[in-house]
Chain A
Amino acid sequence: MSTGRTLDINLPVLARVEGEGALDLTVRDGRVQEVRLRIFEPPRLFEKFLEGRGYAEVPDLVARICGICPVAYQMSAVHAIEQVFGVDPGPWARAMRRLFYCGEWIESHALHIHLLAAPDFLGYPSAPAMAADHAGAVRRGLALQALGNELIALLGGRSVHPVGACVGGFHRAPAQEEAARMLERLREAVALAESLVAWTAGLPLPGTRQAFTSVSLRHPGEYPMNEGRLVSDRGLDIDIADFEQRFAERQVAHSTALHCLLDGGDYLVGPLARLNLNFDRLPPAVQAAARATGIEWPSANVFHGIVARAVEIHYAVLEAIRLLEAFSVPDAARVPVVPRPGVGFGCTEAPRGALWHRYELDAAGRVVRARIVPPTSQNQARIEADLRAALSAEVLARDDDAIRAYCETVIRNYDPCISCATHFLDLRVDRSP
């Protein structure tokens, strides 16, 4: 149905840390003519900063790219550098890196679900406003976020911009007593995490369905975090070293952030994509809780992303328990490394999706060239496509504030960098014919 409406909506400030952006929406004769997610993110030049730096500095430098997912940046970097050096950090470091990642998924997902996304679906302007009526939910969010932060600090020394990870393993192993205390805390959180899955599924989520391509890592035996091949639900199945053969970043005139496309098309990365592609890798208890929501997985409703985040929190809590039950203090928390020149690749599953790194190092292990493709740039084209599909005639018939709110909800659904930016939207409407 066409409303015959002509509308220009300009959301000029999507301001926040990793990007300052905006949304331009042009509607002609009741149809969306143009959607432009303008990210005018000032170039952060991290890849250039890294050039000339020694390999040992890289994990701490890249951790500064994001305050929410520093572990992901550290993990993609250390895996890539270890590939160059031909280093196997061994089973202890491998397990602890997975544990480290569990902490990041728990804190990042808990933050997004409770403080950023849930107010949208429950009709509140902010989490504090929501807290008055849903105090228990907000308390649960803060408790899970704190739990994730504690887990990061256990291995990283601190929860924000942790410093514990290094090429070859970790600078320090936790003491047995520290690990035991953490294990106890995690066990206490199992019921909380499980209840969160049902709670998110009970939110009044839009029932839209869209055709989109899900992309994530896939591991032969695990739900993916640090390792695997890049796969999609449209037949992609490649080694991470072949990323550049199928994925290409391109500059668009309205954004300083690159749009990454798969074979020229948009695609989704993040919790929903991971779950869609790896449901069978979840343990039975997590699968059962996810199925009990009544949602059919894989899901074509992008708003099920919030449920997927809850499922991943449930999984991360159980996985962290499994890893800590097997914990013992090693003789050494890292293996020695000897620099050598070469090119290495790392791709891990950041909370908001696949994070791909490529490093070229010289004989001393100094960075010659670096390339980092974050999930945010991979999801940008998908967000625009989502907005085009989501702005139906029914939505466009609403008033401007309602349209703006819906656009914000759609964008925020994709999580952190852009989603947090949308909290600062300022709306100007041009109603000229």
Chain B
Amino acid sequence: MSPQPVIRIIGIGSPFGADRTGWELVAALGRALPGLPRGVAAETVLCRAPAADLPGHLRGVQAVVLVDAVRDGRAPGTVCAVSGGSVARRHPRLSGHGIGLGDVLDLVCALGEGPRSVSLLGVSVAGEGVPLTRAGRRRALDAVRRRIERIAAELESVC
């Protein structure tokens, strides 16, 4: 029997253009998970609609790592990590059509149902229609792996 997942790695995106980045990286991680300490298991999930699907994905694990494409002007493939409360509360007012990551995290945290650790790994892309190059993808994947190994090590120390 496989161990209970402790970390859930969630790729966020859609089938279109650079928005695929989160899905592609997490799918690649799913094929070859980073080396994890004993007792720390991980699973990967692809999420298309955070408002509808994310609340369920945030439950039942100790740590969640969200991987999503971001357009922040940095070199494509650069990974920026945002952790804890700063992931949420970016958009403090919910709206029916515009429920985003921050809203969902905020709500789940307010209910006391969120995981102990939430990290958002933003992967820089050049633009909506510009997927990562092979080199950019490799750089991003290495950075995401390192980040997950670090989160896993932190979890091991408190498990």
Contacts and interface: CB of A to CB of B under 8 A. Distances in A.
A427 to B, nearest CB: 14
A68 B93 CA distance: 17
Given A146-B52, A158-B48, A160-B52, A128 B97 contact: no
Interface string B49-82: 1011101100000000000000000000000000
Give the size range of B's interface with the partner: 20 to 34
A116 interface: yes
Interface stretch (B17-25, B103-111, B118-126): B103-111
B94 A17 contact: no
B112 interface: yes
Contact of B97 (A125, A127, A129, A420): A420
Chain A: interface secondary structure?
A: helix
A390 to B, nearest CB: 22
A68 B97 CA distance: 7
Contacts of B92: 125-126, 128
A38 to B, nearest CB: 18
A185 B118 CA distance: 29
B98 interface: yes
Interface in A103-126: 107-108, 111-112, 115-116, 125-126
A126 B56 contact: no
Contacts of B3: none
B98 A128 contact: no
Contact of A18 (B94, B97, B99): B97
B95 A116 contact: yes
Interface string A137-149: 0110010011001
B93 A423 contact: yes
Contact of B111 (A126, A135, A159): A135
B49 A159 contact: yes
Give the size range of A's interface with the partner: 35 or more
Nearest to A108: B96
Interface string B124-135: 000000000000
A417 B97 contact: yes
Nearest to A131: B110
A18 B110 CA distance: 29
Interface of B: 48-49, 51-53, 55-56, 92-99, 103, 106-107, 109-112
